[in-house]
Structure 1
Amino acid sequence: MHMMTVKQCGVWAVLLWPYLLSVSIPLDCKEEQGSLSRCPSISQEKLLDRVIQHAELIYRVSEESCSLFEEMFVPFPLRLQRNQAGYTCITKALPIPSSKSEIQQISDKWLLHSVLMLVQSWIEPLAYLQTTLDRYDDAPEMLLNKTKWVSEKLISLEQGVVVLIKKMLDEGMLTTTYSEQGLFQYEVQPEMLESVMRDYTLLSCFKKDAHKMETFLKLLKCRQTDKYNCA
């Protein structure tokens, strides 16, 4: 049953992956595929739409990656114990609103800066995750490709959000990388089970944060069009 499920996932991924690649361009700021250096030349509305599309794709693929990793490497009892075993998300210390009321009350400025903090805090951990997944004997190519794709697109999303902040808030380009402030720490040679659970925690936490990025950006879009009805 396990092998059949993995095989079915592989077939599904092969069918879906060309679609993901074909729609992974929305943040490029020319009509054709190109550099983000042209982002200032397009309208604020179009840039926000492309940033949202990018965040949607990142969340979708992160969800698929987490599910695939869970099925391949995490025994079912450990899935239930993860939250009880002291594993915490690396972005827990960031001043990111969490409750519905907090999110609704924060300004557009803090919505954008919250997205930027989340994006930048995950760039280093996802890059490191690539090196750990390469050490798994049975890691499917599909999982490696998905996590690599997310890691690369996260950098592109960061660039888009920075330009969006400059457009919407008239602020200078922001370069602070929050992962450099000690948010991400890891063992050099952890035990295998610890390594698996750490990677599982990273993927699970990133999936949650990717959903937050998407939610914040969609709320921002709603405020631009229907300020008083964005519950």
Structure 2
Amino acid sequence: MNIHPLDCKEEQGSISRCPTISQEKLLDRVIQHAEVIYRVSEESCTLFEEMFVPFPMRLQRNQAGYTCITKALPIPSSKSEIQQISDTWLLHSVLMLVQSWIEPLVYLQTTLDRYDDAPDLLLNKTKWVSEKLVSLEQGVVVLMKKMLDEGMLTTAYNEHGLVQYDVQPEMLESVLRDYMLLSCFKKDAHKMETFLKLLKCRQTDKYNCALY
């Protein structure tokens, strides 16, 4: 999948403010990353469901009231809340979501590797998403630096401790948990895409962004 790179590095290897790329173009690239991540997360979730999740377990997921690992984050959820928050907080919300999923997706890679019949297509998709999520994090940080015109960014959220995993759960429990991780990530990936597109809308057509 060919998408523009997001990271801009100085000679020392640190991420700069990408002086050679405009804020508008950088936002477009960040949105492109978020769109593809969401699409691949949908494909991964569907593939996992078809391969490993019997239909009764799918109903159980919908009825058991499972809580996504990012529920505790101060992320706006209602349409009215989303419309009222600032551009900076929109980006900060995306950054919190991205950072909160980096570690769980690495964990997911290790558990999927233990499945006897996990198809390479699923493994490759989840690995690709995990890598691109780190790239998206870098792009959002650079974009925030551009928007805030700051040399240092101090709004990073510490995601450690949001979720804990058992070492060797029962297989059925493991399948359901991995399924929930994929489902929750798909939902949050859609939020990331929506927040970024709302930010773009505000910058281009400020008074007609009510659809987001």
TM-score by length of 1: 0.83
Displacement after TM superposition at 1:97 (Å): 0.6
Tell me, what secondary structure is at the counterpart of 2:18?
helix
The CA distance in 2 between the partners of 1:33 and 1:172, in whole Å, is: 15
Q: Give 1:194's aligned residue.
A: 173
Displacement after TM superposition at 1:202 (Å): 0.3
Bigger relative contact order (CA 8 A; separation at least 6): 2
Displacement after TM superposition at 1:32 (Å): 17
The CA distance in 2 between the partners of 1:175 and 1:65, in whole Å, is: 33
Of 29-38 and 158-167, deviating more is 29-38
Q: 1:112 to 1:176 in 2, by over 3 A?
A: closer
The residue correspondences of 1:130-141 to structure 2 (distance < 5 A) are 130-141=109-120
The CA distance in 2 between the partners of 1:33 and 1:84, in whole Å, is: 51
Of 64-73 and 173-182, deviating more is 173-182
Q: 1:172 to 1:183 in 2, by over 3 A?
A: farther
Displacement after TM superposition at 1:176 (Å): 6.5
CA contact (8 A) 2:53 2:176 kept: yes
The CA distance in 2 between the partners of 1:62 and 1:29, in whole Å, is: 25
Q: What's the RMSD between the two structures over aligned residues? A: 2.8
Q: 1:188 to 1:141 in 2, by over 3 A?
A: same
The CA distance in 1 between the partners of 2:120 and 2:13, in whole Å, is: 27
Of 97-106 and 167-176, deviating more is 167-176
The CA distance in 1 between the partners of 2:129 and 2:154, in whole Å, is: 20
- The question of 1:29 aligning with 2:8 is answered yes
Per-residue deviation, residues 114-147 of structure 1 (Å, max 9, x unmatched): 0000000000000010000000001000000000
Of 32-41 and 173-182, deviating more is 32-41
Per-residue deviation, residues 160-201 of structure 1 (Å, max 9, x unmatched): 000000001223443766454411211111100110000000
The residue correspondences of 1:61-80 to structure 2 (distance < 5 A) are 61-80=40-59
The CA distance in 1 between the partners of 2:109 and 2:54, in whole Å, is: 21
The CA distance in 1 between the partners of 2:162 and 2:81, in whole Å, is: 23
The CA distance in 1 between the partners of 2:53 and 2:114, in whole Å, is: 16
Q: 1:180 to 1:118 in 2, by over 3 A?
A: closer
Of 74-83 and 202-211, deviating more is 74-83
CA contact (8 A) 2:10 2:16 kept: no
> Can you give the 5+ residue segments of structure 1 that lack an aligned partner in the other structure?
1-22
The CA distance in 2 between the partners of 1:74 and 1:101, in whole Å, is: 35
User: Sequence identity, in percent?
Assistant: 90
Displacement after TM superposition at 1:39 (Å): 2.8
Tell me, what secondary structure is at the counterpart of 2:193?
helix
- Give the structure with the larger helix fraction: 1
CA contact (8 A) 1:70 1:200 kept: yes
CA contact (8 A) 2:102 2:134 kept: yes
Q: Give 1:154's aligned residue.
A: 133
The CA distance in 2 between the partners of 1:177 and 1:31, in whole Å, is: 21
Per-residue deviation, residues 144-163 of structure 1 (Å, max 9, x unmatched): 00000000000000000000
Displacement after TM superposition at 1:88 (Å): 1.2
CA contact (8 A) 1:39 1:160 kept: no
Q: 1:33 to 1:71 in 2, by over 3 A?
A: farther
CA contact (8 A) 2:7 2:138 kept: no
CA contact (8 A) 1:40 1:167 kept: no
